Amino acid sequence: MEKKHQTLKELPISERPYEKCEKSGVEALSDAELLAVVLRSGTKDLTVVDLSKQILSMNPFYEGLLGICHTSREELQKIPGIGKVKAMQILCIAELSKRLAQAKVEDKISFHDPSSIADYYMEQMRHLNREEMILIFFNGKNKVIKELKVSVGTVNQTVASPRELFLEALRCEAVSVLMIHNHPSGDPTPSRQDILTTKRMKEAGEFLGIPLCDHIIIGDRTYISFREEHMI
């Protein structure tokens, strides 16, 4: 049987991502070729580019590079040819992409503008497989004192109470607070529990003199602001 090409150097010159990149620029590489440059070698049955294509098609719900953001190290290591090191390299690519997207808007974020806040946290939160909540505390000049992840919930429900949230707000001497959480389904429409939690937070904040300025729910490239929807 003809031996399969395992490494980038063993591929025909016309199929080598390095040479293609040098000739035509990195933009000319496909997603699989970009990933192949990182992985460097395939298996006895798959070229490194074919292995990369397999990785990019492993998630049934998210295609291509987006699927990496929804894949665990354990899932990656089930693929023949992907050990612990390669799995961590792949996950680092996903994390870099999230941080690059966040860095683009970091200097432009305005905590007066819900769309600006949603843009900043979108890549960080829209890929999560569980609901997570972030609490942001502000001082009297509307500057951020602290950002705190306060809960990790199930697939469709966070676990948070006004008591634990406002205890932290009092410790920080915050004068206002902002809630952000994600919906793994991608639909940011508030659930009944979201509405009840926001109501309880608003009432507790008013009682303590630390108002809840907004509650933003992050979906998949979309969001809902309770303040914009006049629900707070």
Q: What is the mean pLDDT of residues 214-231?
A: 96
Q: What is the mean pLDDT of residues 147-175?
A: 79
Residue 225: pLDDT band (50, 70, 90) is: very high
Is pLDDT above 80 for 106? no
Pick the residue with more confidence: 124 or 101? 124
Residue 142 is classified by DSSP as S
Residue 70 φ then ψ, to 5°: -115, 30
Identify the pLDDT of residue 69: 83
Q: Which of 95-104, 110-119, 123-132 has the lowest mean pLDDT?
A: 95-104
The residues, ordered by sequence, that sit 6+ positions from 104 with a Cβ below 8 Å of its Cβ are none
Q: What percent of the chain has pLDDT over 90?
A: 47
The residues, ordered by sequence, that sit 6+ positions from 84 with a Cβ below 8 Å of its Cβ are 73, 77
Pick the residue with more confidence: 197 or 66? 197
Per mean pLDDT, which of 60-64, 67-71, 185-189 is the most reliable?
A: 185-189
Dist. CA 44–CA 127, nearest whole Å: 33
Return the amino acid letter for 103: A
CATH class of domain segment(s) 108-225: alpha beta
Is pLDDT above 50 for 78? yes
